[in-house]
Each structure stands twice: as C-alpha cells, then as structure tokens.
Chains A and B, each alone.
Chain A
Amino acid sequence: MKKLFMLTVLMLIAVFAFATGSTDEGAGSDISEPVTLTWYFVGSYPQPDQGRVYEEFNRRLMEKINTEIDFKPIGWGDYDQKMQVIIASGEEFDLAFTANWINNYHQNVAKGAFLPLDDLLDEYAPHLKSSVPQKIWDATKVVGEIYGIINYQVSTMTASIAFPTSLVEKYGLDVDSVDSLEDIEPYLEAVKNGEPGVVPLGVANLPETVIGYVNASLGFEEIGGRAVPGVLLNNNPNLRVVNQFATREFKDWVALMRDWNLKGYFPNDAIAITDLSPNFNGGTVGAGFEGNYAPGAEISASDRYGYPVSIAPISEPLLITSGIIASMQGISSTSQNPERAMMFMELLNTDKELYNLLCYGIEGVHYEKLDGDFIQPIADSGYAPNTNWEFASVFNAYKLEGMPETVWEETRDLNMNAVASPLIGFAFDPTPVQSEIAQCTSVRQEYLPALELGYSDPDELLPEFLEKLEIAGAQKIIDEMQSQIDAWKATR
C-alpha cells in the first residue's frame, strides 16, 4: 500500500517536473521578464508587522533583479505537514526551507521534490558557491549532487552549559576553565548552600531527552536521530557503530546524574517538569544545559533570558553532516523559474541590506542602527522572527549590541578548524529498520528519563534498559547502520 502511494506520488512529481521542464527552455540569464517566486519557510509566524517588511523587501528586489517574492511564512508546528502535502500534490512553488530536522531534506530529495543544483550554482551563484568551503557542500550531496543551498553559519557541534553571570561572579566560578560537566560540581554545591529558592542545575523531563545536550561531550555522534541506538564513538576511524547506552561513557554519565540528584542539585520534581523556561526567565536557576555553542552565544542567551548569561563549552567542536545540513533552501522541481530562484539566492547571500531587512525589519521602525554593524532591536516592534540562520549566510547579519566585533570571523574559524567527522556526507536511511526504531523509542521513553535525571539506581535500571533495548531490536538497527556505512565507504 505504502509503495503504491509512493509510486503515485513519484509519478505525479514526474508529470509536473516534465510539464515545467518543457516551459523553461530559453529563459536564459536575462531578467527582462518580471517574475514572482513563491518561498515557503518556517518560524514564529505570523509577525504582526510582516506585511510591511515584505512590501519593502519586494520594492527593493524589484529594482535589483525584477523579481517579487510571494512570502509563505508558516508556523513551527504546521510546517512539516504542510510541506508534505504541498510537495506530494505537486503544487507549484520555487523555494522552500529544508533541513534534517524539519521538512526533511533527504526524504524530499528521494521523492524528487528538489532540483539538482550543481549547474545552477556554478552559473547563477558563483559568489555563494565559492564563499562556502567545499567540505561543507560535500555534506549536502546526495549520490554526488547538491540539492540544498547552504545557509552558511556555525556548522559544528559543541555541548555547552549556561550560567547567570551574577551567580558565577558571586561564587567565583571561572567559566573559561570549565571543560567538562564534573568541573561545575563545587559551584553547584555552593549555589545549593548559598541560594535558597534557586535550583542549582535546571534539568527537566524533556520529551526528547537531556542526553541530546551532552552527546558531544560524551563523544557520541548520532546516526539515526535523537537517542536512537547506534552512534559513532569519538570519531572512530574504522567507522564502527556502537550502542551508546552500552558504553562506559554513558554509564559514567548516568552515575554522575544519580549522584547529583541525591545531592539535591536538581529541581524537586524534575521528572514531572517539562518546561523550565519560567525558572530560567525568572533567574532562579544556577546552571542549565544550553544548545549548540557558537561564538556570541552569551549575547543571544542573555537576550533570551533577560539577564547577563555566561556560557562554557564542555566539548571539542566537531564538524558533522547533521550540523551542516541543519539549514538550507531547496529549489522545487515544480519551479517555473529555477534560474531566477538561484539569482535571488545569490543576491540574498551577498546583499547585506536585503538580508538584514528580512532578519531584523526596517531600520528605525524595528531596530536602531548603532556604530558600525551593530544594531539594537526595538522591543515589541511587531517584527522579530529571530531566525537569521534560515534566510541566507549569517555572516552578513548585523551584530547585536555586545557581540564581539569579530564574531563572524571566529565562527568561520571554528568551522574551518573543527575536527571533521569521518562520516561527513553520509546519511542514514531508516526505512529498513523503521519498526525497530519505533520500538526502541518507546523503550527509551520509558527508561531514559529516570536514568538521566538520576531517579533510580543506574546499577539496577541500566542493565534492565539495555536488555529491553536488545529485545526491541537495537542490534538490528546498529547492524543496518553498519552495513549502510560500509556500503557508503566503499563508494568513496
């Protein structure tokens, strides 16, 4: 049944691809004809003032390349489903945001939803092509061809912890010297004793696990998605896949979490709390796991929490495929004007003013320009999507007040100097082991929260967890990963 459905979808797409293919001959690189491009992307939409920004954007774009954008901003929760229907129905559109975590890139490429871009990039976007290093383009390739335009930004994975600066200063923690989770224990102890009403380490029962935050510091590179058994441990050069839950690293980590819970560093009812943001925003947390570290992260985190925040990376930066393909634009195979779409992408990646208009809105209305490239957003201005990373290369973005002058250079260096995973360019196809993954996920949901929040003795619970994972087919998933990786390696 499923196959039949896929076949129908593929046929539909083929028909539309054919229908459009016949009409764009002879379009050439001239921009004499006015063109409207439809662009789907995701974010906290609607923004109250978005219409005004888009109008201004189109006015400027019209002058430059005789093009208008039909903006289709979609909310976070709707985007995935909406794009699936739009793509499956063969509806005409030109550009869409795609990534490995939403509007799945590899699935869309497999469905034939996107055009291969190598020639278009060379012809219409030479600057964009050369501004991104080849090893990063390599990560987007599917069977040798690029299907996604990289929104170039930090591509490395680095685990990190955030602290309120006031508490760090009060208890004399040297943030620069923190290299691992264990280093913060004396600080947590001091906060626990000195600050009643403050939770030393803000952890909660997140639907997608705490371990996601510390994977990098344990040396895990996930292959099949969040907390699916099977990782590459410490860049293993033989590309051997192991079960991360059976490693010594995982065992030590859950033992530490157990220890910290018993010492009272966690919120009272961590396992019942799913959202700690009121505590973070209220400043009643001593430390918390922060997402992926990037230069300037302190400033954006301070912005989010509403008070000064210090951040300590607790792992080496690692360059991996899933970090790179986390933000791209695809050009639809139903597009009538792929050349113009690519010209638009080139412009958005090189024209600072256009790009920042989309990021921050109109100067004087949505933000105030300060010295140089620094700006300050105006509160409640009605336009603040806060998603610079999804439109184009962030290295053209204005800097927020307080960010280091050289933040983009530092980020570039971070990308260039990071250790590249031996798996760059490999993408796991989970279809053959879908049911095993689903079973392992339900086992994981049952056991992992209690383990990572230190709610029961890992000596008892961990073996039980591993046994249940085995029954659920963990080894089959790992074997499948191994065979796909071996096959991939053979083609290189």
Chain B
Amino acid sequence: MIENQARRRFKNSVIHLILFAFSLLCIIPIVVVASIAFSSESSLNDVGYTLVPSDPSITAFRYILKNSNQILRAYGVSLANTSLGTISSLFVISLLAFPLSRRDYRLRKPLAFFVFFTLLFNGGLVPWYILISKYLHLKDTIFVLFVPYLVIPWFVLLLRTFFSQIPMSIFESAKIDGASEFAIYSRILMPLSKPALATVGLFITLNYWNDWWLPLLYIDNEALIPLPALLSRMMMNITYLTTQMTNSFIQIDISNIPKESARMAMALLAAGPMLFVFPFFQKYFVRGLTAGSLKG
C-alpha cells in the first residue's frame, strides 16, 4: 500500500516535471520578448538577449506612445476585422458544412468535390487580385480584410465531419415536430456542435488576427491597416533596408526606424488579445473532449 503510494507519487512527479519543462519552453520566449522590450538598445548589442533586462529602459514604449495614434487605430481595425470575420466566416462555413454532412442531400457529392477541389487548386495570385480589385471593387475597404477568407475549405471539411457524427434521427424527429431546415440548423445543430464551432472558431480568429497578406495586397489607405500588417510591414522595411543599403547607390535614412526593443514591444501588444481569447475557447475544448464520455 505504502509502496504503491510512493510509486504513484514518483510517477506523478515525473509527469509534472515533463509538463513543467514543456511549459517553460512556451513561457521563456515570451519572457525574453518582454525583456528585450524593456532593455536599452545598446545593451542588446553589448550583452545580447537576457531573461532579465541588463539595462532596463522604457525607450521602446516611448516610441510606441509617440506613434500611439497609428497603433491604436491599427488595433481597432484588427479587432473589428477579426470579430466581423470570425462571426461571418463561422456562419458561412457552417451553413455550407451542414448540407454537405447530410446524406439525404442530392448534390452532396458535386458540392463536396467543388469544396475539395479549391483546397488543392486555385487561380493564382494575379487573377485573384484582378477579381477582387477590378470586379468586386473591394480594394481599400474593410471588407477586403475578411471577405476573401470567408470560406476556407479545410475548415468546411472539418465541420462536415463533425456534423455527420450527429445522428440523423435527431433532425428527423425535429422535422416531425414541424421544424424548418433553418430551425434545425439554428436550434438543434448549432447548440450541439459548440465544441467543434469553438475549435474552428479559434482557428479562424487566429487566421484573421495574424493576417497581413490581404492588407499588403489590397489596402493603400492608412486608416485601414490592421496591427499585424503594421508589424510585418515594419519588419519587412527593416529587412529590406538592412539588406539593400549596400546594394543601392542611394543614401537611405534609417535612423527613425524602430529598433529591436520597439519591435518586441509591439509584438507584445499584438500577442495580448490572443492570450485572452485562448482561455475563453479552452472551456469548450475541454467540454468537447469530455462530452458524451459518460453516456458511453
């Protein structure tokens, strides 16, 4: 008995140790980013990256404060685009996945093929650009930030698989009670699939929050630049300038480019909301894993 307990304790501590090491691997990079954000620029070159700033300074945040207008607006655009995008994308994707999961839908196969085909093939960058800028006239609007990613085939297939595990008989009994197809979708399917919706929703949220490709292509208006685009543009500018300086015959002034610490401070800002979003979805993840486990 006592031996058993000791063994269990040993086992537990090994597991804890592994989990502890793993969480360290996740936490340390964030701590380093924070430390760089709070370091002075010259100490970074002299000492390198440390876990605790060797020469604490808040110049990076002063830079951000100086540009607070732009950064705040970008934050707002990002929030608007991510929330609008996630909601409408989830709606459209689930509306598409539902019929695809129904065995009694006659056009199921061609429609599924249509979705699957776009997973593998697409028209290429230039035709896509022409379609969106010339025919849909979405350039420089808030819509261009989420409409092109409304339907992501991979997520459709994911949801379809989940939906098809729900027994048909539930839908049939609802129908007998007089429910319309849309009522079945909104009042039976949606509540039943919360865990799946949460998973896909999180993917979509991350997708939108991190996206800089659409704004790079389609946004010229400064007021509509989201935060990741601002960050990636900054990084691309820096890489470009440091690699091309010697290439060109041109003297380029790089003194007002945000330095490493400022970049890290912005990365902290950008990561912030996602740190809060994840625990919210996590609730549903656990539920999704345990749902139905008791019923066997």
Binding site for B on A (CB under 8 A): 5, 8-9, 12, 44, 46, 48, 72, 74-78, 81-82, 85, 88-91, 99, 101-102, 154-155, 157, 206-209, 212-213, 225-226, 273-279, 281-282, 284, 291-292, 294, 297, 300, 303-306, 322-323, 326-327, 380, 384, 386-387, 389-390
Contact A274 B44 (CB under 8 A): no
Chain A residues lying within 8 Å of B254, measured Cβ to Cβ, are: 277, 304
**8 extra A-B contacts, CB within 8 A, seeds A12-B126, A48-B69, A99-B250:** A48-B67, A89-B133, A212-B247, A277-B259, A278-B45, A291-B248, A292-B249, A387-B250
Q: Which residues of A have CB within 8 Å of B242? A: 206-207, 274-275
Nearest residue (CB) in A for B259 is A278
User: Which chain B residues numbered 118 to 159 have a C-beta less than 8 Å away from chain A?
Assistant: 124-126, 129-130, 133-134
User: Are A207 and B243 in contact (CB-based, < 8 A)?
Assistant: yes
Whole-angstrom CA separation of A89 from B124 in the bound complex: 11
Answer whether A44 and B233 are a contact pair too, CB < 8 Å, given A89-B129, A291-B251.
Answer: no
Segment 36-55 of B: residues with Cβ below 8 Å from A = 41-42, 44-45
User: Which parts of B199-229 form the interface with A (CB within 8 Å)?
Assistant: 216-217, 220, 222
CA distance A88 to B242 in the complex (A): 28
Interface centre among A9, A12, A209, A278 (most CB of B within 10 A): A278
**Which of B234, B249, B251, B257 counts the most A-chain CB atoms under 10 A from its CB?**
B249
Give A198 Cβ to nearest chain B Cβ, in Å: 13
**Closest B residue, CB atoms, query A79:** B240
The reply to whether B246 and A209 form a contact with Cβ atoms under 8 Å apart is yes
A91 in contact with B133 given A77-B239, A213-B246, A291-B246 (CB within 8 Å): yes
Select from chain A the residue with minimum beta-carbon distance to B256: A44
- Residue B236 interfacial (CB < 8 Å): yes
B42 A326 Cβ-Cβ under 8 A: no
Instruction: Give residues in B with beta carbon < 8 Å to A.
Output: 41-42, 44-45, 66-67, 69-70, 124-126, 129-130, 133-134, 216-217, 220, 222, 232-257, 259-260
Supposing A44-B237, A278-B42, A300-B251 touch, asked if A208 and B246 sit within 8 A by C-beta, the answer is: yes
Verify B237–A85 contact, CB threshold 8 A: no
A279:B256 contact, CB within 8 angstroms: no
CB-defined contacts of B248 to chain A, threshold 8 Å:
99, 101-102, 291, 326
- Looking at the assembled complex, report how far the CB atom of B238 sits from the nearest CB atom of chain A, in whole angstroms: 8
Contact B244 A102 (CB under 8 A): yes
CB distance from A185 to the nearest CB of B (A): 23
- Indicate which residue in B70, B126, B236, B247 contacts A89 across the interface (CB closer than 8 Å): B126
In the bound complex, residues from chain B placing their C-beta under 8 Å from that of A300 are 251, 253
Q: Do the beta carbons of A304 and B253 come within 8 Å of each other?
A: yes
* Cβ-closest chain B residue relative to A284: B42
Assuming the contacts A44-B257, A76-B236, asked whether A292 and B247 have C-beta atoms less than 8 A apart, the reply is no
Tell me the bound Cα distance from A378 to B238 in angstroms: 24
Task: Verify B249–A323 contact, CB threshold 8 A.
Answer: yes
- Closest Cβ neighbor of A158 among chain B residues: B249
A82 with B216: CB separation less than 8 A: yes
Say yes or no: A297 contacts B251, CB within 8 Å.
Answer: yes
Cross-interface CB contact of B45 among A212, A276, A380, cutoff 8 Å:
A276
Are A226 and B125 in contact (CB-based, < 8 A)? no
For B246, what are the chain A residues with a Cβ–Cβ distance below 8 Å? 206, 208-209, 212-213, 226, 291
Separation of A72 and B222 alpha carbons in the complex (Å): 11
- A207 to chain B: which residues have CB within 8 Å? 239, 242-243
Identify the closest chain A residue to B67 (Cβ).
Answer: A48
Contact A81 B253, beta carbon cutoff 8 Å: no
Query: B253 and A386: CB pair below 8 A?
Result: yes
In angstroms, Cα B222 to Cα A74, docked, is 10
With a cutoff of 8 Å between Cβ atoms, the chain B residues found around residue A277 in the complex are 254-255, 259
With contact pairs A48-B70, A278-B42 given, residues A78 and B233 touching in the complex (Cβ less than 8 Å)? yes
